[in-house]
Amino acid sequence: MILADTLTNKEARSEEKNMEQLQAVVQRYCLSLTRSRWDAEDLAQETWLKGMRAAINATHDNREALLLRIAKNTWIDQSRRRNQYARLLMQEKQVEAASNTGSLELEEALYALMKHLSPLQRTVFMLRDVLGFSARETAKLLNSTAGAMKAALHRAREALHEVRRELQAEAGLSSTDEETRSFIWAMAAAYQAGDLALLIELAQRDVGEAAMITGIIQNNRLQASSLGQQARAKYNKPYTIEMAA
């Protein structure tokens, strides 16, 4: 038993080290393409977004080559958008179709994670293996310990074979109820918008709870927006001095 636990811990550490090295390689490659630290960070984030399936499919023959190819193609696309804006306007429908396809793939991946991973496992998996947070950063975000995060990530990785099987079956979201589809859409929207707080909230909830949380957060944002408008209206009033009669 002790030997088995030791081997498991070694495998987990090895996988974590491999993932950290892969993230570093992607970051350096993005920097070599963009020549800008800020653009490189944006490109790396976009690469991992598009490569979510690669993160899930840990058995891919060469994940590094796949992610670097995604980064290169993404940078080419971004450069074309900057330099050939008029031409891209003519291709708007094609770009929109590609975007819709990417969103659908993201939603299907999130749905598979929701079905086969526990709330904690999918939250830790997304933060660590998809978004690139360290174990310590993940623990801080979830008010836990680095050890607990490593254990949850190990269990999540062990369950990924079911996630891969789900994606290969291509059952999709068509057979799910409206509440589930709304939940997955909300998670995908938070992921694409970079709304980390909302993404963490949703990832840790079941479908019914997530719908409630989404409503509460949206309501709070509306209230904050309304209060901001009231404050601006108050302080933007013309300044007048009333003279005594």
Q: Both tokens of residue 148?
A: 């607990």
Per-residue pLDDT at 109: 82
User: What is the topology classification, in CATH, of domain 101-213?
Assistant: Arc Repressor Mutant, subunit A (1.10.10)
Residue 29: is its pLDDT beyond 90? Answer: yes
Q: What is the mean pLDDT of residues 21-31?
A: 92
The helix-helix angle for 178-193 and 207-235 (nearest 10°) equals 50
User: What is the amino acid identity at position 210?
Assistant: A
More confident residue, 232 or 176: 176
Residue 229: is its pLDDT beyond 70? Answer: no
3-class state of residue 204 by DSSP: coil
Reported as a single tens digit per residue, the pLDDT across 112-137 is 888 888 889 989 998 988 888 888 99
What's the CATH number for 1-82?
A: 1.10.1740
Residue 148: is its pLDDT beyond 70? Answer: yes
More confident residue, 45 or 112: 45
Residue ranges covered by each domain of the chain: 1-82, 101-213
Burial (0-12, 13-18, 19+ Cβ within 10 Å), 170: exposed
More confident residue, 242 or 223: 223
Q: Which residues contact 71 (CB under 8 A, 6 or more apart)?
A: 26, 29, 30, 33, 43, 44, 47
Q: Which residues contact 163 (CB under 8 A, 6 or more apart)?
A: 56, 112, 113, 115, 116, 117
Residue 211: is its pLDDT beyond 60? Answer: no
Reported as a single tens digit per residue, the pLDDT across 48-91 is 888 877 666 655 567 888 889 999 999 988 887 776 654 555 55
Q: Do domains 1-82 and 101-213 have the same CATH topology?
A: no
Q: What is the mean pLDDT of residues 165-178?
A: 66
- Percent of the chain predicted with pLDDT > 90: 15
Residue 13: is its pLDDT beyond 80? Answer: no
Decide if 116 contacts 157 (C-beta within 8 A): no
Per-residue pLDDT at 232: 47
